[in-house]
Amino acid sequence: MFKSIYAVFFSAILFASGCSNDFGPVDVEIPDGQEIAEWKISTPEEQGLDGNIVSNGLVAAERLEFVRSVLIVKNGFLVAERYFGAGKFERNDVRSVTKSFISALVGIALREDYLKNLDQRMLDFFPEYVTSDLDRRKFDITIRHLLTMQAGFDHEINLREETRNMMNWTKTTVELPLVANPGEKFLYNSLETHLLSAILTKATGMSTLAFANEFLFGPAKIKVREWIRDPQGFFSGGSGMFFTSRDLARFGLLYLNNGFLDRKQIVPADWIAESVKNQVEQSGSWGAVKELGYGYQWWVGKINEYNVYMAIGFAGQFIINIPDLDMLIVTTAETPTDLGEADQQGIAITRLIANEILPAVKN
């Protein structure tokens, strides 16, 4: 069983502790010629939703007080968009939603032959950290293990001291002790996703940002507004991207369309299918989400009777895709420092979606 998804939220603190002001969020210029997508707008009623229930759901979201935005996309149309003390141009620190973007980039790197396969070994990309006394099991850690949080490194909630004031995130991660054999156990650790970002840079010869601009953000008309880097200049994999709520909805729509958008296959469809499939043995529940599992940096489960897959970040940053309904929901929220409070915010939003928004679906 998963303990609690509050573990997801710890990455925000973990990464902040190892990030000096010199390597904090950096403004990212939009590449020349890249467009920002315009949304097709419709009403809930026109797309098969009860407009009154949707309106009441948005009122309920406002009453939660910590919700900053709610967007609903149905059949490719933006049917609801509400901001609370924010605006559609606000940059949201999406925290662990970053991981799902990294997953997309890994799939693209495989298609473009920058990566051979998911069974490539982690240490093939970090030979500089190989020493005679290195735990030999680390030679068995693969890209697949990093994607599914099964490398064998401890749960990040237990690594506060080891990761405090990190000066080299990749080296610190590789040197962390293993508490399980690779592939044996799901242990959530954002630094594993950071290794994936560094691997992308090493494999492509481009920064993760440059690679993303060329193959993902540019073609999908998504703009990353800021992105944290580590002291060595690797863009953060586990947390640290900033997007508008509409950017997040655009990414959700890309996945809902099996990687196809604007007449382009941007992310391989077979990669998406594998990414949003439960890849770990554990399952559990959290708030209104049942049968909770983990794919390739995406959470999977059920809300009400619907299968969902989700990009989830600290305190209520969500992209929730519901393929059977051709529907997605994006939320952003305030970010408290208390982990318990953050967990409760996320739980409250899942219940808002289950009890106040999804009942708008007309049978």
Minimal CA–CA distance to 234: which of 266, 272, 195, 269? 195
* Residue 255 vs residues 258, 265, 357: alpha-carbon distances, Å: 5, 11, 21
Average pLDDT over residues 168-191: 96
State pLDDT tens for residues 234-256.
Answer: 999 999 999 999 999 999 999 99
pLDDT band at residue 164 under the 50/70/90 scheme: confident
User: Where are the chain's structural domains?
Assistant: 6-86+93-360
pLDDT at 6: 45
pLDDT band at residue 17 under the 50/70/90 scheme: very low
Tokens of 5: 């998804």
State pLDDT tens for residues 145-158.
Answer: 999 999 999 998 88
Minimal CA–CA distance to 176: which of 146, 144, 207? 146
DSSP 30-57: PPTTPPPPPPPB--TGGGTB-HHHHHHH
pLDDT at 162: 74
Average pLDDT, the chain: 92
Please answer whether residues 142 and 121 qualify as being in contact, where contact means their C-beta atoms are separated by less than 8 angstroms.
Answer: yes
pLDDT at 96: 97
State pLDDT tens for residues 181-226.
Answer: 999 999 999 999 999 999 999 999 999 999 999 999 999 999 999 9
3-state secondary structure of 76: coil
pLDDT band at residue 27 under the 50/70/90 scheme: low
Average pLDDT over residues 336-345: 94
User: Would you identify the CATH topology of the domain 6-86+93-360?
Assistant: Beta-lactamase (3.40.710)
Rounded distance between C-alpha atoms, residue 128 and residue 177, angstroms: 17
State pLDDT tens for residues 262-274.
Answer: 999 999 999 999 9
pLDDT at 86: 86
Is this model's pTM higher than 0.85 or not? yes
Tokens of 210: 């440059």
pLDDT at 292: 96
Burial 127-151 (b: 16+ CB within 10 A, else e): eebeeeeeeeebebbbbbbbbbbbb
